[in-house]
Amino acid sequence: MAKGKYIFWRLVALLLPYVLIQGLLGAGLISDFQQITLMMMGINIILAVSLNLIVGFTGQLALGHAGFMAVGAYTAAVLTLKIHQPFLLSLILGGLAASLAGLLVGLPTLRLKGDYLAIATLGFGEIIRGILNNVEYVGGAAGLLGIPRLTTWTWLYGFLVLTLLGVMNFVNSTHGRACLAIREDEIAAETVGINTTYYKVVAFSLGDFFAGLAGGLYAHYFYLIQPSSFSFFRSFDVLVMVVLGGLGSITGSVLAAMGITLLNALLQDLAEFRMIIYSLLLILVMIFRPQGLMGRREWSLARWLEKRGEARGPAGS
Amino acid sequence: MAGFLQQLVNGLSLGSIYALVALGYTMVYGIIQLINFAHGDVLMVGAYVGFAAVVFLKLSIWWAFLLAMGCTALLGILIERVAYRPLRHRGAPRLAALITAIGVSLFLENSGLLLFRPEIRSYPPGLILNRPLSISLGGIDFTVTTFQVTILAVTGILLLFLQYIVYWTKTGKAMRAVADDADAARLMGIDVDKTISFTFALGSAFAAVAGVLLGLYYNAIDPLMGIMPGLKAFIAAVLGGIGLIPGAVLGGFSLGFLEALVSGYWSSRMRDPIVFLLLILILLFKPSGLLGKNQVEKV
Amino acid sequence: MALLEVENLSMAFGGLMALLNINMQVEEGDLIGIIGPNGAGKTTLFNLLTGMYRPLRGSIRFRGQDIVGLPPHKITRLGIARTFQNIRLFGDLTVWDNIRIAQHWHRNYGLGVALLRLPPFHRVEEEIARETQLLLEMFGLEPYKHEKARNLPYGEQRRLEIARALAARPRLLLLDEPAAGMNPQETRELMAFLKWLKEEFALTLLLIEHDMSLVMGLCQRIYVLDYGRLIAVGTPEEVQNDPQVIEAYLGQEVNDFAP
């Protein structure tokens, strides 16, 4: 296959969704409700893909993703709202703050066995919420109000692509393979020379960086953030996306995040009913299809083009 | 000093409730090394069964306890049977079991929200005598209510009952054997699945008692009431040393005291964050818990 | 200077002494066997040498450096690799990935290079792929390249585990019962294979084995453990005639000793 052609298709695949939606937005064909759903999809994809890095690829069950999202959201919101910093800088600092928080929680707890990590991260999420509830500077339980609405489709799409590329590049590198080795067998990973604690912390703080980014984008879309928006129910929500999509499949996380966000929007009035279905799916998937809906497969543009080429007869290269 | 003692007394009742829940966590963890995230929600179901028994069936509170214990024991067996056993038999990774447990927990909470509606309900007044008793101990005065005494007594009776089961009955022996080495127990002719079912039943029944007591204590029940006590009881179990029955009791009481002290001397809003901070500290400095021994993990 | 020097090494589980005052000297290029009845402490010794356990007492020096207290991955990086009695592969990953992962510590690039796919990424990944291909061909695992490790036949899994250990570039290789589950024909092949391995990779080998024909036919020196104690050291002939060794093995199959 010609390399130029591959790059061309790659750019098309990358830009098509953006251009399409941007056009529809410009033409005023997307309702406010649809727009909110769309933005939540993007934010949830970032959350799901970054949690998958920790749970799916590194095999560490972390239940505090919403807490790290909160760190990013509050940091970025305080920076734009109170200190009047530029949006981009605020978002990145929000991501870094979440990452730092991840490092602080990760360094001590990642030495522990998986189930303790789950509870420790869940506890951490609650500590964050407890602190936010008690700090008047960020509005206490009432939350932060009047955050400028700076998150546009363009910003969101840009960060979405960056997240996907970053995570894909990471998992397909020697560093990502070190994480996979930890998931498969921590002891064997150590005996081939992998510093397992280091890589757990790397996966953790990288995942939390993106969670913080998602938090910043979220805060600057909804004007208002409250500690209660970041309870462990949100962490569980993201976990459901990761599990249904497939532990260790980025494509799966993207699809599941989109599907579940859509369902959430459609079944808004049936919240309990929806959650019952998700929880049953969670159990059934673990029992009957533990690899998730996508398994560990990934959709790949190169492979797709190859198949297309084969179908048409041998492609000149 | 009188104030301090009063806080301790207050901590004692909440502590015994935590201890009852922590026992379920620790027994299940001891036998299949699973954090049963749904345990707190079993407590919620127990509280609702108790509520139904008192309000609709007009039973006395003691019958309500028994009915709640029976129903949740069955629920515990069902959960184990349907959700955890298939994974165990397949030798699924721990991550899968944990995620399933989260699924069961979410399922119970949301079924509760759908069936019982989200509103808060209260047990009718006067079910248990609640009269303050003034006590003077070595010149220090403090107050205990008869209800607090009841909580303590119920917990005490259940603890004795558990001691009897675990150390004096054949089933208890089987439980200890499976906890020690499930494969060896199977070879000795112990029905491992049945023993695990029994453990779930026992732990769930204890959670039901805790649920009814909590409902009476706060005078409120709702479908999400099990989450926080569930998490805290787990912390209590870890604090005492997970898998150890005396550890769960010690952890439960310690946690109750800590909460009472934080609420009394600082702020009740800081209570939950402090408890979680405690968890992280234990995990850092003594992950095996107060009563646990640090062991070399066999490779 | 000896490659590996173990002095007065002791280890206890609970109150039980698993190893007591073990002394060992391994020279570069040695091929050494460790034998003893079940529960004698052989695997515990490996776990101590590779940093999985921390000894109660004693010292372990590898190439002159004290390695007690180092985490396992650092010990691997100094040049000790191992296999496990019950085979520990990265089961859900391909054979190819199993080998690639083991090169992690010596063929690396920065995190930033990985995230941004900078040129060193492609260069190092190509090197990794070349060495992986080479190792798979040498070990006859090429046909299984894309299979998940857990789907390999038993013998191939054992071979893959050794190949993976070698990809981590050891100078000392510890093999925990490499002949377990093999028939006499396969064991003979394994002997030839281990000899080749040692020459080809300039290795020093330490192996735990129950199959006496293999140990006696292959090893220059044998350490015999019993109840955590070193009861004999010597050439195969010396060990076979040692009264203490015979006593330790009495009650077991006596024809174990037939060479």
Question: SS3 sequence, B104-144?
Answer: HHHHHHHHHHHHHCCCCECCCCCCCCCCEEEEEECCEEEEE
Q: B299 CB near a chain A CB, below 8 Å?
A: yes
A208 exposure class (CB count in 10 Å sphere: 0-12, 13-18, 19+): buried
For residue C173, give both structure tokens: 């290789």
Residues of B numbered 144-203 whose beta carbons fall under 8 angstroms of chain A's beta carbons: which are they?
none
* ipTM computed for the complex: 0.91
Q: Alpha-carbon distance B15 to A251, whole Å? A: 47
Q: Which residue on chain B is closest to A246 by alpha carbon?
A: B96
Contacts of A39 (CB under 8 A, 6+ apart): A151, A153, A156, A221
DSSP state of A56: I
Place of tokens 């009957």: A288
Place of tokens 């029944």: B205
Q: Alpha-carbon distance C87 to B299, whole Å? A: 12
Q: Alpha-carbon distance C16 to C240, whole Å? A: 28
Q: How far is C51 from chain A (nearest CA, A)?
A: 9
Q: C124 CB near a chain A CB, below 8 Å?
A: yes
pTM of the model: 0.88
Among candidates B48, B74, B28, B49, which has minimal Cα distance to B201?
A: B74
Nearest to A169 among C89, C104, C114 (CB): C114
Q: A235 CB near a chain B CB, below 8 Å?
A: no
Whether B299 and C53 lie within 8 Å, measured CB to CB: yes
Positive or negative, the CA dihedral A147, A148, A152, A156 is negative
Q: C53 CB near a chain B CB, below 8 Å?
A: yes
Task: Give pLDDT tens digits for C128-177.
Answer: 999 999 999 999 999 999 999 999 999 899 999 999 999 999 999 999 99
Whether A178 and C104 lie within 8 Å, measured CB to CB: yes
Q: A109 CB near a chain B CB, below 8 Å?
A: yes
Q: Alpha-carbon distance A263 to A272, whole Å? A: 13
Whether A194 and C101 lie within 8 Å, measured CB to CB: yes
Give the DSSP per-residue string, C25-70.
EE-TT-EEEEE-STTSSHHHHHHHHTTSS--SEEEEEETTEE-TT-
Among candidates B225, B31, B249, which has minimal Cα distance to B113?
A: B225
Yes or no: say if B227 and B40 are a contact pair by the CB < 8 Å rule. Answer: yes
Nearest to A130 among B99, B231, B270 (CB): B270
Alpha carbon of B150 to those of B130, B216, C38: distances in Å?
9, 11, 56
pLDDT by residue for chain A (317 residues), tens only, comes to: 567 777 888 888 888 888 888 889 888 888 889 999 999 999 999 999 999 999 999 999 888 999 999 999 999 999 999 999 999 999 999 999 999 999 888 887 777 666 778 888 888 888 888 889 888 899 888 999 989 999 999 999 999 999 999 999 999 999 999 999 999 999 999 999 999 999 999 999 999 999 999 999 999 999 899 999 998 889 988 998 998 888 889 999 999 999 999 988 888 888 788 889 889 988 998 888 776 666 667 777 667 767 766 655 444 33
Q: A61 CB near a chain B CB, below 8 Å?
A: yes
DSSP H helical ranges for chain B: 2-32, 39-55, 61-79, 85-90, 94-116, 146-168, 170-180, 182-187, 192-218, 227-240, 245-265, 271-285
Q: Give strand ranges (E) for chain C.
A: 4-13, 16-26, 31-35, 57-62, 65-66, 80-82, 172-176, 204-208, 221-226, 229-234
Phi, psi of C223 (to 5 degrees): -105, 130
- What are the boundaries of each domain within chain B? 17-222
For residue C7, give both structure tokens: 């002095």
Determine which of A3, A103, A111, A174 to mutate to test the interface with C (most C C-beta atoms within 10 Å): A174
Yes or no: say if C81 and A192 are a contact pair by the CB < 8 Å rule. Answer: yes
Q: Alpha-carbon distance C72 to C110, whole Å? A: 22
Place of tokens 């560093």: A175
